[in-house]
Structure 1
Amino acid sequence: MNEILASDLAIGYDENSPLLKNLNFRLTDGVYVLLGANGSGKSTLLKTIAGLISPLHGEVYVNGFKPHFLRRKDVARLIGYVWQNPFHGFVEPTVEREILFISKQTGVEVNWKLVHKLVPLELFERSPFTLSGGEAKRVSLASVIGLDQPIWLLDEPFNELDFTGVKVFTGIVNYARTKGKIVVITTHYPGLADLVKPDYYLLINRQSGLLVMDKWSNLSDEDLVKNEVIPRVLRPEFTG
């Protein structure tokens, strides 16, 4: 079983003004959706779990390890982290080399079946920096989760995807569930998140700095609006 464990965790970039604090949670195998307003700390929480930034206070453990103390290639074997802006993660001159980059760093074989679901062969010789937003998102996802890690942290994966892209992504999340992975997805659109049939939601209250976790089936539009998240259905009483 996989596990992400946070103990008295505070995150952010300024010890005197943490984005979130007193976080205590345990995630095991399943699909989770992280929700919150702009600037509430969603991306920062994923980066902290991925070891890209250190906790301001407390600890986070991933399968028993503290990611910010591990070598990056060891983290990459354990965690697939997909950037909100795909272009921030690109480092290679062609799509094919981008997809192979983490594999070469870690020695982990690429799951080409996953990759080909996301990226057509005709893109392989293109520069990733010349792709459309949707194409870049697909390549970003493929270059990371193509290593089939036990834990996927996906920052705004629905952004830029068209109907077909969302359908493919939904199928890949379903695959991850059957393999017993932990998948954490951030999004501003809970209606889209419904498509992947999440097990739980994590909702950030920016005013209190608290993180609420509950079953996805218990999430209401009223809870979303109170926490400045777009509801599934925009009704007049929500839009003012």
Structure 2
Amino acid sequence: MEPYISVRNVSHVYPNGVTAIKDIDLDIFENEVVAILGSNGSGKTTLVKHFNGLLMPTKGEVIVGDLNTRKERIAKLSSLVGYVFQNPNHQTFLPKVSQELAYGCKNLKMSEEETEERVRKAIELFQLQDILDENPFDLNSSQRKEVAMASIMAISPQVIVLDEPTTGQDHKGCIRVLELVRMFQRHGHIVILITHDMHLIGELNCRTVVMHQSEKIADDQADTVFADRGIMAEAGLQPPQITSLANGLSYVEENKTYLTIHSVLKLMKEKNEEGIKIGSRS
């Protein structure tokens, strides 16, 4: 199977001489959810900005679909890779939600009929019918984030990048982000998450790429990555709290990683039914 995004030996050096990413090889395939992890300054955001042409490689090449990003305009690449910024205020600027939803389609010079149809679908998917005449800046943080996501969904790019999607969200908002990621995948999109939210990654148990000091140091399913204490320590990352809690239970198999509270509760119920006393490791 051919990758949809292919990163080959890519390095990026900023004008001030800082090497942000170094010799990165990465293939991302259709319908994947991929989390890009790393501490601040590790290179994760720089890497992802190469996918839609916001940055160009200093060395190497990035192929998206069948397009070499060096040879294409950002406008064309943005029809394939939609980027939802961490702060929705950085990409919403029109006075009405309805105008925001249509802007991307119009900018890509879609016909009026196609624009209307795509916007209608986005409104239905995100259930935005009651706020179409609202100013996005009058909405709460969760609503603004959804408007930003819906405006990208209207374009219907194959790849949807979510930059720190749960930042500033309350518990309800975080659950909604999880639901939306799963919805994007059901609709056939590749979803790329730039995030520090270990709980979100644990719930998804998705493919997880770890960046550290400009290099890729891990690429595997979340449960495998989180179980590798050497990688986690090197990258300065902590697994979800529930994983640490589960590791302290006396009857948990050492080669198994629990990522969600549901999985731990299920385990506790099974052990209780077997008559095994629940306790912690000494």
TM-score normalised according to structure 1 size:
0.85
Q: CA RMSD in A?
A: 2.5
Q: Do the aligned partners of 1:11 and 1:48 also contact (CA within 8 Å) in 2?
A: no
Q: Which residue of 1 aligns with 2:151?
A: 143
Which runs of no fewer than 5 residues in structure 2 stay unpaired? 246-282
Please state if 1:123 is matched with 2:125.
no
Q: Superposed, which structure 2 residues align to 1:97-176 within 5 Å?
A: 97-106=99-108, 107=110, 109=115, 110=118, 112-118=120-126, 120-176=128-184
- Deviation (angstroms), 1:68: 4.8
Equivalent in 49, 61, 66 of residue 63 of structure 2: 61
Measured against aligned partners, the alpha-carbon deviations of 1:179-205 in whole angstroms (never above 9, x if no partner) come to 44321101101212222341x111001
- Say which of 200, 206, 209 aligns to 1:202: 209
Say yes or no: does 1:22 pair with 2:50: no
% identity of equivalent residues: 25
| Matching of residue 80 in structure 1 with residue 86 in structure 2 | no
1:219 pairs, out of 225, 228, 231, with 225
Structure 1 residue aligned with 2:185: 177
Report the counterpart of residue 7 of structure 2 in structure 1.
6
1:98 is paired with a residue of what secondary structure?
A: helix
Aligned counterparts of 1:125 and 1:179: Cα–Cα separation in 2: 27
Gaps of 5+ in 1: none
User: What is the Cα deviation at residue 227 of structure 1?
Assistant: 0.7
Structure 1 position 93 matched with structure 2 position 99: no
- CA distance, structure 1, for counterparts of residue 91 and residue 14 of structure 2: 21
For the Cα contact (< 8 Å) 1:51–1:69, is it kept in 2? no
Asked whether the 8 Å contact 1:50–1:67 carries over to 2, the reply is yes
SS in structure 2 at match of 1:50: coil
Tell which has more relative contact order, 1 or 2 (C-alpha 8 A, sep 6+): 1
**How many residues of Structure 1 are paired with residues of Structure 2 in the alignment?**
234
Q: Distance in 2 between matches of 1:20 and 1:69?
A: 21
Question: Which protein shows a greater Rg?
Answer: 2
Please point out which of 21, 35, 38 is paired with 1:36.
38
Deviation for aligned residue 1:122: 3.1
